[in-house]
């Protein structure tokens, strides 16, 4: 299967579409669909996860493989045969050459014998008694009769001067010419030995002759030379007797290399010299072999043998065509044989490959069927391995079937469970919603009834109405808690995780429970030492804190203290609530976070709770990534705690305060960044207003430096945007500008709470000094807040609320406020615009410290702040009893900002 | 003291009566009730209330749909609207405010302080008019 999948390439594996897909076998493309459809099956998933093949070559078919195998087998045979052929050819040639040389040797021996016979005859004739007596006539007669018996041409007797005395061709007594071959005669007289002449032209016989001449010796002296002339045709007989194959050319050469006799065209070539290469070789060796051409121009292999006696030689020329003809035939036969073997092999390979590949392809259908989850039809093949694969596919189908069945049943069960859970959760949700509407009516009616003063009602009736109302409220709480549990269980609650300031969250929680605490006679106290924020959903965390706080209050004995703590605990922040209640009974500790779990305490306590609060709290804390628990407090009571992952403060990097520099000119920015880093700041740099805003959104900064002349907007609008970001509502912003006048005017008109102003040109020493000062400006401890209001109650509420964090300077008149301003060192101003007989707005232009720097202000008014003024202040709030909480929350945000910078400053210092 | 006109929309007859009783505790309030969004559109255009209290979950036309229709009509576009709904999350509150609601009063409400809550919402509507309100102001 992996092999098949490798061929099936998925989109995105680098192959162009269309072309490659077209020639894919049908089963491969269908496999793509198969894999797509069944990719949830584990076995196929594994294959899909293979990395796609980038360079994809089609592998050879079985047929191609087998044909290559056949060729691989046959080719070495061919090479061996060629080597063998070469060997046989060389041997055959050698043997032919040797045989021919032997034949030549036999022929030359025959020639020698023939000449020796003639010589012997002449030597016998030389001893004739007729010669010493000078009876030449008788000698002529005797010689003539001898010549006729022999196959000689004539016999000639000559004296030393070369004059012929007897010539059998001429009747005795007639005049005779001189000796035809005087050189021969001279050698005979000189050596006294028989001499065989080369071929020469006989003057009497008028034809080419060869002469054998012997000396005639009398009394130890050579008197005459007796010669017999022989015609070369006589030697032809010797060649003919040998019966050489018809095409072979044999020739007899005299000692000078002239052709004496020849099997072919003797009349034409007798008397000519032989082929130069042959003659040259014959002169040097007694026997040998040379490849040459005959005088007719026929290419021949010539073998020759030379006689040691006469120096005559015989050469036999075997035509090259005849010599190679056999070899060529052998070669052709071999080639035909080899090709026949190859063709047969390829034919067989094709036949068998077809068998194998069709058997393999027969497996594709069952494999595809397995993929589709159908029952595969397993084919029978006559190849064992393929049968085994088929069996494997069958097996795989059954395994797959089993797994699919198991999974389906598990999935069905799971679906059933999920459906049941959904129905349940929907049911609970619907019921809760439906319960609420009548509950609203009931609770409201009872409340109205309870509040109506009707003298006709008895005290018992009033009591019953009160019980009914209290229980309707309890039912409302129960429905709300059930709905919370259901939402948490169903995962419907979306957690909006963000940075949360623990202190302000706990302060809000305490504020919200103050009324309850007063009713129960408990005192609330906050101890917040944590220097870190946490990451959480503030609403949900508040729900948890409220739950713990209300539990603690409910279980507190009268006049006891409930302490809420925020502290760092390793890499966590721990929120804990300590009460001085009766503690948790031993047998209840294990179930305390279970739903509807309530300890067996007095009925009065039990009535107020739903038994779901801690369960909900635990679930929320779990989802916030934290941990909830409790322990017995030393000295009685219980401590419930929540640990949450702590967040590092964002406005510093590795302990260095972090600055944002918005500067258009890159080179200026580089210089400034370098200086800031040297001075111990971490600096982020942006060249456009857009980038600056996105950076400021993503991080807290201890300070922001703004060039008033940015490419995509002026500095004023950038500062306005920055001020709208919650984390930079009061971050020190410092202007870096080459054109201070214009910027200052803009800024003055909108008073953006800019804490310092630096006029260009760039003076780094001056700049560093100002930054440090600006940072310190908010670093006073505790912060000083001016509060201008003509209502003593409001003044009191605010002063009390800010008691822990700030020194509040209260003023009821403009004059008092101006005096406080003159005293200096104010971090924040809270101003009521509507005073008795005057307007707090008149104070706004004066909200500058002695250095002329604007003081952040909060306006607090019955009427809407004027549009121009609204821009001038941090926030404008309506004055009403209910929104005092809102006001305090805003104040806390300001204070927390100042406080965090203050502590950073202290650390930095 | 000018009377303050409150239009209350809720499909539950009981809730309508209780709200009328509760708001009746404030002598300046004049209350008129409607049982569905369609009636509310007519009443709002006809009566020009100072504030509309509107249930969120109602059949046929729910609270947000009613609010949208009110904003479409120039006669009613500027009337502040406060939703009444069961125990909402902050996210929902933000969502309702983004629709143009002045605020939300949670159910079950305290009938003794309902009038005060409505007054608070009236005041904040005066201070911070809703987006739709600004959009319909002449330039």
- Is residue B53's pLDDT more than 90? yes
Chain B residues with CB under 8 Å of A433 CB are 57, 86
Q: How confident is residue A882, by pLDDT bands cut at 50, 70 and 90?
A: very low
Rounded to the nearest angstrom, the minimum Cα separation between B22 and chain A is: 8
Q: What is the pLDDT of residue A244?
A: 84
Q: Which residues of A477-490 are buried (b: 16+ CB within 10 A; e: fewer)?
A: ebbbbbbbbbbbee
Tell me the angle at which helices B13-24 and A384-451 cross, rounded to the nearest 10 degrees.
40
Sign of CA dihedral A508, A509, A512, A514: negative
Q: Give residue A360's Cα distance to chain centre.
A: 33
For residue A707, the cross-strand partners are A736
pLDDT digits (tens, 9 = 90+) for A635-646: 888 999 999 888
Which chain B residue lies closest to A450 (C-alpha atoms)?
B112
Q: What is the pLDDT of residue B42?
A: 94
- Pick from B22, B87, B108: CB nearest A448: B22
Q: Average pLDDT, stretch A20-29?
A: 42
Q: Is the preceding peptide bond at A679 cis, omega within 30 degrees of 0?
A: no
| Residues from B in contact with A at Cβ < 8 Å | 12, 14-15, 18, 21-22, 57, 86-87, 89-91, 107-112, 116-117, 120, 123-124, 126-128
pLDDT digits (tens, 9 = 90+) for A261-284: 888 888 888 888 888 888 888 888
- Do the Cβ atoms of B127 and A439 come within 8 Å? no
Q: What is the pLDDT of residue A861?
A: 53
| Residues from A in contact with B at Cβ < 8 Å | 433, 436-441, 443-445, 447-448, 451, 473, 476, 480, 483, 494, 496, 539, 863-864, 876, 878, 880, 882-883
How far are the Cα atoms of A108, A200, A258, A530, A678 from residue A269, in angstroms, in the given order? 19, 14, 9, 135, 120
Q: What is the pLDDT of residue B129?
A: 53
Chain A residues with CB under 8 Å of B125 CB are none
Q: How confident is residue A880, by pLDDT bands cut at 50, 70 and 90?
A: very low
Rounded to the nearest angstrom, the minimum Cα separation between A851 and chain B is: 34
Among the listed ranges A277-286, A367-376, A745-754, A844-853, which one has the minimum average pLDDT value? A745-754
Among the listed ranges A34-38, A503-507, A651-655, which one has the minimum average pLDDT value? A34-38
Q: Give residue A504's Cα distance to chain centre.
A: 52
Q: What is the pLDDT of residue B12?
A: 87
pLDDT digits (tens, 9 = 90+) for A60-106: 888 888 888 888 888 888 888 888 888 888 888 888 888 888 988 88
- Pick from A444, A451, A494: CB nearest B108: A444
How far are the Cα atoms of A438, A652, A777, B107 from residue A732, in angstroms, in the given order? 54, 14, 9, 43
* DSSP helix/strand/coil, A725: coil
Compute how many other C-beta atoms are within 10 angstroms of the C-beta atom of residue A569. Answer: 14
- Is residue A585's pLDDT more than 80? yes
Give every CB contact of residue A222 below 8 A, 6+ residues apart in sequence: A160, A188, A189, A192, A215, A216
Among the residues of B1-139, which ranges form H helices? 13-24, 37-47, 63-72, 90-99, 114-127, 131-135
As given in the structure block, the two tokens for residue A624 are: 């916030």
- Do the Cβ atoms of A440 and B107 come within 8 Å? yes
**Do β-strands A783-788 and A806-811 pair in parallel, antiparallel, or remain unpaired?**
parallel
Q: What is the pLDDT of residue B37?
A: 92
Distance CA A512, CA A728 (A): 27
Distance CA A174, CA A783 (A): 178
> Following DSSP, what letter does each residue of A172-224 receive, concatenated?
TTS---B-S-HHHHHHHHHH-S-EE---EEETTTTEEEEEEEEEEEETTEEEE
pLDDT digits (tens, 9 = 90+) for A426-451: 887 777 777 888 888 898 889 888 88
Distance CA A237, CA A251 (A): 12
Give the number of A-B residue pairs with CB atoms closer than 8 Å. 64
pLDDT digits (tens, 9 = 90+) for A742-790: 434 343 333 344 444 444 344 555 555 555 554 444 444 566 778 888 8
* DSSP helix/strand/coil, A89: helix
- Pick from B22, B57, B89: CB nearest A444: B22
A877 φψ region: left (φ > 0), alpha (ψ -120 to 50), beta (else): beta
Which of the residues A440, A612, A866 would you substitute to probe the B interface, choosing the one with the greatest number of B C-beta atoms within 10 Å? Answer: A440
Q: What is chain B's length? A: 139
* A399 φ/ψ angles, rounded to the nearest 5 degrees: -60, -45
**Burial of residue A413 (number of CB atoms within 10 Å: 0-12, 13-18, 19+):** exposed
Q: Average pLDDT, stretch A290-295?
A: 86
Q: What is the 3-state secondary structure (H, E, C) of A216-240?
A: EEECCEEEEEEEEEECCHHHHHHHH
Q: What is the pLDDT of residue B19?
A: 92
Among the listed ranges A453-457, A463-467, A826-830, B28-32, which one has the minimum average pLDDT value? A826-830
Measured at the alpha carbon of residue A42, what is the angle toward residues A37 and A46, in degrees to the nearest 5?
95
- Do the Cβ atoms of B123 and A878 come within 8 Å? yes
Could you give the percent of chain A with pLDDT greater than 70? Answer: 76
- Is residue A553's pLDDT more than 80? yes
- Is the ipTM beyond the 0.85 threshold? no
Distance CA A541, CA A617 (A): 9
Which of the residues B59, B127, B128, B137 would you substitute to probe the A interface, choosing the one with the greatest number of A C-beta atoms within 10 Å? Answer: B127
Rounded to the nearest angstrom, the minimum Cα separation between A539 and chain B is: 7
Q: Which of A96-100, B61-65, B126-130 is the most confident on average?
A: B61-65
């Amino acid at each position: 299967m992996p092999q098949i999948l490798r061929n099936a390439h998925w989109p995105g594996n680098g192959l162009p579409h269309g072309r490659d897909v077209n020639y894919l076998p049908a089963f491969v493309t269908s496999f793509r669909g198969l894999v797509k459809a069944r990719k949830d099956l584990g076995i196929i998933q594994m294959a899909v996860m293979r990395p796609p093949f980038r360079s994809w070559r089609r592998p050879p078919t079985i047929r191609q493989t087998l044909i290559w195998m056949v060729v691989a087998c046959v080719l070495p045979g061919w090479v061996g045969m060629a080597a063998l052929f070469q060997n046989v050819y060389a041997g055959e040639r050698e043997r032919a050459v040797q045989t021919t040389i032997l034949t030549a040797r036999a022929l030359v021996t025959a020639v020698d014998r023939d000449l020796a016979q003639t010589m012997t005859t002449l030597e016998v004739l030389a001893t004739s008694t007729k010669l010493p007596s000078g009876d030449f006539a008788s000698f002529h007669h005797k010689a003539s009769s001898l010549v006729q018996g022999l196959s000689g041409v004539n016999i000639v007797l000559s004296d030393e001067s070369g004059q012929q005395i007897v010539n059998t061709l001429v009747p005795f007594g007639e005049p005779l010419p001189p000796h035809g071959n005087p050189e021969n005669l001279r050698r005979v007289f000189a050596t006294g030995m028989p001499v065989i002449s080369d071929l020469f032209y006989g003057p009497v016989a008028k034809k080419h002759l060869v002469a054998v001449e012997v000396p005639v010796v009398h009394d130890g002296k050579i008197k005459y030379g007796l010669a017999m002339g022989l015609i070369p045709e006589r030697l032809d007989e010797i060649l003919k007797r040998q019966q050489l194959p018809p095409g072979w050319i044999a020739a007899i050469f005299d000692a000078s290399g002239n052709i004496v006799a020849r099997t072919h065209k003797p009349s034409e070539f007798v008397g000519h010299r032989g082929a130069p290469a042959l003659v040259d070789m014959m002169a040097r060796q007694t026997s040998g072999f040379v490849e040459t051409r005959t005088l007719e121009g026929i290419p021949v292999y010539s073998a020759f043998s030379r006689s040691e006696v006469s120096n005559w030689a015989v050469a036999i020329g075997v035509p090259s065509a005849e010599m190679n003809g056999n070899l060529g035939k052998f070669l052709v036969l071999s080639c035909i044989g080899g090709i026949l073997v190859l063709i047969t092999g390829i034919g067989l390979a094709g036949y068998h490959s077809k068998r194998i590949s069709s058997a393999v392809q027969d497996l594709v259908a069952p494999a595809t069927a397995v993929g589709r989850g159908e029952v595969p039809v397993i084919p029978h093949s006559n190849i064992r391995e393929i049968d085994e694969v088929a069996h494997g596919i069958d097996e795989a189908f059954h395994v797959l079937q089993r797994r699919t069945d198991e999974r389906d049943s598990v999935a069905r069960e799971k679906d059933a469970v999920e459906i049941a859970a959904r129905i349940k959760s929907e049911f609970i949700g619907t019921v809760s919603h439906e319960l609420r509407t009548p509950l609203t009516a009931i609770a409201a009616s009872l409340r109205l009834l309870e509040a109506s003063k009707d003298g006709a009602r008895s005290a018992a009736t009033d009591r019953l109405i009160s019980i009914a109302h209290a229980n309707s409220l309890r039912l409302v709480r129960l429905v709300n808690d059930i709905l919370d549990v259901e939402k948490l269980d169903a995962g419907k609650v979306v957690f909006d995780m963000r940075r949360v300031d623990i202190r302000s969250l706990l302060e809000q929680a305490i504020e919200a429970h103050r009324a309850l605490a007063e009713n129960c006679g408990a005192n609330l106290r906050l101890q917040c030492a944590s220097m870190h924020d946490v990451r959480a959903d503030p609403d949900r965390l508040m729900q948890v804190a409220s739950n713990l706080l209300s539990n603690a209050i409910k279980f507190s004995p009268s006049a006891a203290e409930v302490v809420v703590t925020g502290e760092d605990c390793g890499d966590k922040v721990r929120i804990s609530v300590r009460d001085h209640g009766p503690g948790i009974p031993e047998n209840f500790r294990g179930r305390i976070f279970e739903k509807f779990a309530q300890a067996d305490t007095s009925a009065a306590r039990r009535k107020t709770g739903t038994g779901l609060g801690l369960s909900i709290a635990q679930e929320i804390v779990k989802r916030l990534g934290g941990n909830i628990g409790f322990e017995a407090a030393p000295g009685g009571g219980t401590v419930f705690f929540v640990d949450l992952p702590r967040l590092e403060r964002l406005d510093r990097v590795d302990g260095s305060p972090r600055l944002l520099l918005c500067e258009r000119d890159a080179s200026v920015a580089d210089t400034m960044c370098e200086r800031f880093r040297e001075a111990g700041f971490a600096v982020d740099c942006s060249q456009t207003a857009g980038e600056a805003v996105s950076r400021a959104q993503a991080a807290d900064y201890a300070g922001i430096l703004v060039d008033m002349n940015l490419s995509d907007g002026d500095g004023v609008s950038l500062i306005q945007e920055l001020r709208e970001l919650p984390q930079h509502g009061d971050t020190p912003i410092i202007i870096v500008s080459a054109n201070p006048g214009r910027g200052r005017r803009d800024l003055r008109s909108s008073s953006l709470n800019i804490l310092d102003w630096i006029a260009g040109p760039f003076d780094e020493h001056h700049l560093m000094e100002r930054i440090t000062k600006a940072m310190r400006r908010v670093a006073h401890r505790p912060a000083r807040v001016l509060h201008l209001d003509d209502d003593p109650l409001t003044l009191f509420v605010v002063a009390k609320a800010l008691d822990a964090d700030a020194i509040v300077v209260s003023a009821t008149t403009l004059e008092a406020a101006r005096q406080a301003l003159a005293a200096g060192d104010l971090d924040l101003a809270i101003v009521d615009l509507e005073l008795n007989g005057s307007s707090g707005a008149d104070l706004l232009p004066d909200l500058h410290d002695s250095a002329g720097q604007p003081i952040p202000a909060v306006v607090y008014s019955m009427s809407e702040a004027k549009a121009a003024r609204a821009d001038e202040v941090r926030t404008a709030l309506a004055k009403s009893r209910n929104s005092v909480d809102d006001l305090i929350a805003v104040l806390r945000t300001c204070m927390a900002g100042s406080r965090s910078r203050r502590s950073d400053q202290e650390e930095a210092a | 003291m000018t009377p303050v006109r409150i239009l209350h929309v809720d499909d539950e007859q009981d809730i309508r009566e209780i709200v009328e009783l509760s708001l009746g505790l404030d002598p300046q309030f004049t209350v008129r009730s409607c049982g569905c969004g369609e009636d509310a559109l007519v009443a709002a255009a006809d009566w020009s209330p100072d504030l509309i209290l509107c249930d969120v979950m109602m059949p046929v036309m729910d609270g947000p749909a009613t609010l949208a229709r009110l904003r479409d009509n120039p006669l009613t576009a500027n009337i502040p609207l406060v939703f009444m709904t069961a125990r909402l999350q902050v996210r929902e509150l933000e969502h309702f405010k983004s629709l143009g609601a002045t605020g939300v009063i949670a159910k079950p409400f305290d009938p003794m302080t309902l009038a005060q809550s409505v007054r608070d919402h009236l005041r904040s509507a005066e201070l911070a008019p809703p987006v739709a309100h600004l959009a319909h102001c002449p330039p």
